[in-house]
Structure 1
């Protein structure tokens, strides 16, 4: 190793959502250039799964956590190597009514989109999970707010929970839709949920693009249901 080379340091990047925890190992340097070392892995957020996952982690590697799950937060064992990310940790100007209430998941996704987008272009970031967020990032890289709607699973559960005859569908029933024209109750629900979420995202994107026109706008999609 020569005098000018610096060994990258390692960290664990953790995203705690409402239904699952996603994590991976990364390296970073003094310029905060980050590189992923492994595939993103998923862990359920029940107490047993969280405990088993934490027991498998190396204690000496710093862990950065962005979470929207308060129950899971209370079960995570923290130490001097764990940092819970707050809104002030994200390098964004947050132009909404209550900046301190914006979820860390939305800000983490917006930070990535702001860094990846082309200069002088706006960006839309869709994060699809239990909830789906559709947010706008300005050409200057500022978080401008957005919309929150139910995800595929949440919408399907809501129909089953709030009606007496409609059945509960599995996530696969909704995301592996064969046709928009339902031929039975189950496929009609699947079509409504599937295209309700996608149609909502599409409509919001069109409205955002119209608001920022003629500035070009890029689209970024992430989350557990991003490619459903």
Structure 2
């Protein structure tokens, strides 16, 4: 029973084909495309791919992009399924005011992080950070309850906002410095430390609320940019959303089998 996991963010579509829908299974193939190129998947990266038996995806890019992906998947006899956040699933309880309005990527990443912690040892509180086009910083207690989270702009959005809103300010590429002495470094350092500060503040909140030191797990395409500037211990995980999709798929399909 091969399984296709798809993660569609604001910039790219990432996919992985696994031997089975369960954590730890064999990865058979994987790839990524910018959203403007996804109409070429059926004739490109997916053309000679073994047809998946099951599929589960996570999307934040909107219905128009989802329809384009469905068109590319018509080469296979597989029913597309997409994650919508719920009140509880796979060890996480959703504390959002309106649970279904929580972004699917945030929900799936928290599920992946929770299972990662449980496989490594006893349960503990967590701060889950995704660094991409936008940045999210989530708080989860020891029992797996999502307490709430922060959303802030990623590096690119911050810099473009400054460029468009500030006369004469152009955004070249700078470096992160302790004491920036030019505009390029000041911009890059400011954005980086803003994200690092948000993570540090959330770690403080979770530590005080749970009376325990939280595990901090970071993921996202721009996570590596943050690594040298973090002020709290953390683990950088490349494919946290795929970890979450595999966990959700295993539980969902086991439940379906039990019903039949």
Shorter chain as denominator, the TM-score bin is 0.7 to 0.9
Residues 139 and 202, structure 2, Cα contact 8 Å, conserved in 1? no
List gaps (5 residues or longer) in structure 2: 226-260
Residue of structure 2 in register with 1:225 after alignment: 222
Structure-1 separation of matches of 2:206 and 2:97: 18
Does residue 108 of structure 1 match 2:108?
yes
Q: TM-score, normalised by structure 1?
A: 0.82
Q: 1:75 maps to what in 2?
A: 68
The superposition leaves residues 9-46 of structure 1 with CA deviations (integer Å, 9 ceiling, x where unpaired) of 221211111111222222325xx344251575331011
Which structure 2 residues correspond to residues 17-56 of structure 1 after superposition, within 5 A? 17-28=9-20, 32-37=22-27, 41-46=31-36, 49-55=37-43, 56=45
**Equivalents in 1 of 2:42, 2:94: separation in Å?**
32
Change (3 A) 1:39 1:151: farther
Q: 1:108 to 1:23 in 2, by over 3 A?
A: same
Counterpart CA distance in 2 for 1:211 and 1:66 is: 30
| Partner of residue 138, structure 2 | 135
Q: What does the per-residue CA deviation read over 1:73-118, in whole Å, with 9 as the maximum and x for residues that have no partner?
A: 2422255432122224943321120101000100111001111114
Cα shift at 1:60: 2.6
Which one has more relative contact order, counting CA pairs under 8 Å at least 6 apart? 2
Which region of structure 1 is more displaced relative to structure 2, 117-126 or 32-41?
A: 32-41
| 4+ long deviations beyond 4 Å | none
Matches of 2:29 and 2:185, distance apart in 1: 34
Q: 5+ unaligned residues in a row in structure 1: which ranges?
A: 1-8
Query: In structure 2, which of residues 33, 43, 51 is the aligned counterpart of residue 60 of structure 1?
Result: 51
In structure 1, the residue matched to 2:231 is: none
Question: CA 1:196–1:178 in structure 2 vs 1: closer, same or farther (change >3 Å)?
Answer: closer
Q: Using a 3 Å threshold, how does the CA distance of structure 1 residues 138 and 207 change in structure 2: closer, same or farther? A: closer
TM-score, normalised on structure 2?
0.73
